């Protein structure tokens, strides 16, 4: 299951950690977000131990969303060693996300 990033754990689990973190900003009421959820879940399982892949509920965690200027969801940020190295807004395929993750591992 994909990791759940929150306002309280984001610094420690995504920013302070070395390596790659993939953060999916979403909301329960967002149809496109629900379409991408199975892809995030699959990637989370496939990259277990290689990258932290998870989700941020924008309704429950406004601080992270504000910090990164999230205005449209789904928005996926790829961070490496705490820095944003890639960003995707909107629905995408597993193949596209997989290639983006591979490029930063």
Tell me, yes or no, if 33 is annotated catalytic.
Answer: yes
Residue in 21, 23, 33, 40 annotated catalytic = 33
55 catalytic per annotation? no
Q: Is 43 helix (H, G, I), strand (E, B) or coil?
A: helix
19, 27, 30, 68: which is the annotated catalytic residue? 30
Q: What is the edge-to-edge ordering of all strands in the sheet holding 51-57?
A: 3-4, 51-57, 20-26, 75-80, 83-89
3-state secondary structure of 78: strand
| Residues annotated as catalytic (active site), given as ranges | 30, 33
């Amino acid at each position: 299951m994909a990791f759940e990033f929150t306002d309280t754990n984001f610094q420690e689990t995504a920013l302070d950690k070395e390596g790659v973190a993939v953060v999916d900003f979403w909301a329960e009421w967002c149809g496109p977000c629900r379409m991408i959820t199975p892809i995030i879940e699959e990637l989370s399982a496939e990259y277990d131990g290689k990258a932290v892949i998870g989700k941020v509920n924008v309704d429950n965690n406004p601080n992270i969303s504000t910090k990164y200027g999230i205005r449209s969801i789904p928005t996926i940020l790829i961070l490496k060693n705490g820095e944003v190295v890639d960003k995707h807004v909107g629905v995408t395929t597993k193949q596209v996300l997989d290639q983006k993750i591979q490029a930063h591992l």
